[in-house]
Structures are given as C-alpha cells and as structure tokens.
C-alpha cells in the first residue's frame, strides 16, 4: 500500500506524544482512531486540540476539513480497518513487546505498525510478533506536532518495503523522515546531540566554560546555519566546496577530535554541578514561560526553515 492509500490511522497511547501524533494525522486529513487505557486522556486531548491545530496550520497551512479523531473504547476497536498504526507506550521493553504483539494480532494485514520509541530497538520490540515484517520505528522529536523530523528504521525481521512505505507516509503528511540503514542506540539525531552534549558537559565540569556560555556558543555560532542547511552543506559553503574545506580545515578538526575531553561520568557531584549552573542560567523564568517562548520561537524558525532551508 502506498502512502497515498493510507486513509485511516490508529494512535495507541494518548499521552504527550500520542495526542500530538493524533493532531498531526488529523491535520493531514486522515481519520484517527485513538486508544488509551486511561479514559481521562481523551479529555486532555480535547483540551489541547485547539492549540495543536493552530500550531500545525501555521507551519503546514492546509485547506479542507481535518480528519475526524475518535476515542475508541477498546484496542480492537481502535485498530479496525486502519492502514497505519502509531504506537506510543512507555519505554518498557516487556510491556511494549506485549502491546505490539496485540497490535500485530488485531491490525489488518496490510497495516504498518510504527513505534515512537526513543530508546528501544525494533528487533527487540518485534520479537513476539507473527507479522514482524511490518513493524518499524517512527521516532519523532518533541514537540511532535511542530518538529518535522521522524527517524525510520526496521528491525532484523522487518521487510525493507515497510520502511520505505512508512518513510513515504511521513513525508506525505509534511514530516521530514530520515531512514537509518541499520539500528543504532539512540537512532540518529540523538547520537549527534549526544556527541555534542558529551563535550559540552565535559567542558562545564572541568571549568572551561559555563552552562550559559556553552549554550550561547551553539545558539549564536553553528546553530542558525545548521538549522537552515545542516553541518555538511554549511561547511561546504565555508570554503570553495567540501574538498577545499577538508583540505583547509581537516587538520584543525582532527586536532579538536584528539583534544576532546572523553566521556564524563554523571555521578552525584557532576549532576548537582550541572543542575545548579542550569538553574542559574534560567534565573527567575518559569518552565511555562520557557516552554511558551520555545514553541513561539519554533514556529518562527520552522517557517523560516521551510522557506530557506536546504
């Protein structure tokens, strides 16, 4: 089944991640059948829906009526006649294996089953499934309704066509999927973030820079250019093409890599030090103020990225 033939979706787990997936699918004009064992999750979704829809319409303007979102009373009801399933249960392998086995048993044979898991491998998640060939990872970034990235990868028993179909589906609804050629701990983007944050924490712990200045260095240094064009194209433009950049600056980067501080240990003292410095950088601002500013800024950035991004 191609992405254009996916009309009905199921969102399993209607927490922070799931409710945003439901809004995304609905905004794309798809029918959504949501299920969560907590009946209050539906009330929370309805309360959040107007704001979610407003954000989506701003970054992905669409004409036409959004798809219907309905709350199913049972898992079987949620999966009836669906073409695509987005699973969003907690990061507990045993529980997720059991749930995905039920999704595999109940979902139509043609339906793709995608997990939003950020930490678990598809090969482990799909172990109990009879139709493991259609189980994939579809890992989003928060806030899911605004952030375009979705990481897609299959497990050892996943059919390559299922990965291709999932990526094509996410692309068709306005997301920016990346396909991993093999499973990696932390997938792709989190590994890149982890590499940078490892060095950031090491520099803070050794006293070379403060939390505030590390964040400032990224925000006002590579951050804006990387947001628009990524690291490779940005560096390509930093010289007369990539070959010239590597010739001019490759030695500098090798020297930096040799001088990287290694892997810091996040013991109690280190965690306290980082937490205190982060609190100092935040100052009197509340988390709600920071989140509102983040989401408002993200909308502006994503609009700019949509117009000018490589």
Q: Which residue has the tokens 């701990």?
A: 185
Residues in the chain: 310
Give SS3 for 57: helix
Dump pLDDT digits (tens) for 157-214: 999 999 999 999 999 999 999 999 999 999 999 999 999 999 999 999 999 999 999 9
Check: CB of residue 126 under 8 Å from CB of residue 153.
Answer: no
Check: CB of residue 84 under 8 Å from CB of residue 115.
Answer: no
Q: Which residues pair with 154 in a beta bridge?
A: 136
Mean of pLDDT over the chain: 95
pLDDT of residue 5: 86
Q: Where are the domains of the chain?
A: 3-179, 189-308
pLDDT of residue 2: 62
* pLDDT-derived band at 19, boundaries 50, 70, 90: very high
Q: Which residue has the tokens 């932390």?
A: 186
How large is the average pLDDT for residues 79-92? 97
Ranges of H-type helices in the chain: 16-27, 40-59, 75-79, 93-106, 122-125, 160-172, 189-205, 211-220, 222-237, 242-259, 268-282, 287-308
Superfamily of domain covering 3-179:
NAD(P)-binding Rossmann-like Domain (3.40.50.720)
CA distance 170 to 178: 10
Dump pLDDT digits (tens) for 122-133: 999 999 999 999
Give, rounded to a whole angstrom, the gap between the first and last alpha carbons of the chain. Answer: 30
Dump pLDDT digits (tens) for 218-271: 999 999 999 999 999 999 999 999 999 999 999 999 999 999 998 999 999 999
pLDDT of residue 309: 81
Give backbone dihedrals phi and psi of 239, rounded to 5 degrees, phi first. Answer: -155, -165
Residue 159's CB is within 10 A of a number of other CB atoms, namely: 16
Has residue 1 got a pLDDT over 60? no
Question: Structure tokens of 179?
Answer: 């396909």
CA distance 19 to 128: 27
Question: Structure tokens of 116?
Answer: 């939003």
- Pick the range with the lowest mean pLDDT from 55-59, 82-86, 163-167, 304-308: 304-308
Dump pLDDT digits (tens) for 3-13: 658 999 999 99
* pLDDT-derived band at 307, boundaries 50, 70, 90: confident
Check: CB of residue 125 under 8 Å from CB of residue 96.
Answer: yes
Query: For the domain with range 189-308, which CATH number is right: 1.10.1060.10, 1.10.1040.10, 3.40.50.720, 3.30.230.10?
Result: 1.10.1040.10
CA distance 15 to 13: 6
CA distance 151 to 18: 16
């Amino acid at each position: 089944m191609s992405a254009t033939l996916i009309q009905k979706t199921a969102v399993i787990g209607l927490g922070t991640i799931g409710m945003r997936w439901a809004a995304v699918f609905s905004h794309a004009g798809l029918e959504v059948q949501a299920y969560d064992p907590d009946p209050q999750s539906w009330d929370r979704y309805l309360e959040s829906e107007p704001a979610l829809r407003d954000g989506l319409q701003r970054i992905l303007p669409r004409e036409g009526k959004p798809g219907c979102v309905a709350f199913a009373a049972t898992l079987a009801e949620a999966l009836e006649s669906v073409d695509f399933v987005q699973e969003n249960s907690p990061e507990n392998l045993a529980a997720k294996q059991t749930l995905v086995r039920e999704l595999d048993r109940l979902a139509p044979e043609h339906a793709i089953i995608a997990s939003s898991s950020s930490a678990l491998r598809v090969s482990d998640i799909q172990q109990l499934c009879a139709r493991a060939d259609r189980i994939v990872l579809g890992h989003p970034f928060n806030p899911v309704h605004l952030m375009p990235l979705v990481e897609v990868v299959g497990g050892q028993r996943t059919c390559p066509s299922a990965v291709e179909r999932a990526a094509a589906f996410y692309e068709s609804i306005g997301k920016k999927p990346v396909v991993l050629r093999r499973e990696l701990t932390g997938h792709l983007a989190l590994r890149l973030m982890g590499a940078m944050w490892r060095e950031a924490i090491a520099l803070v712990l050794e006293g070379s820079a403060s939390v505030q200045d590390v964040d400032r260095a990224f925000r006002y240094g590579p951050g804006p250019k990387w947001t628009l064009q990524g690291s490779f194209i940005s560096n390509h433009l930093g010289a007369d093409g990539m070959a010239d950049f590597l010739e001019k600056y490759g030695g500098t980067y090798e020297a930096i890599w040799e001088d990287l501080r290694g892997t810091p240990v996040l013991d109690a003292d280190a965690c306290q030090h980082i937490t205190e410095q982060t609190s100092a950088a935040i100052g009197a601002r509340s988390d709600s103020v920071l989140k509102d500013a983040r989401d408002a800024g993200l909308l502006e950035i994503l609009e700019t990225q949509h117009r000018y991004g490589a």
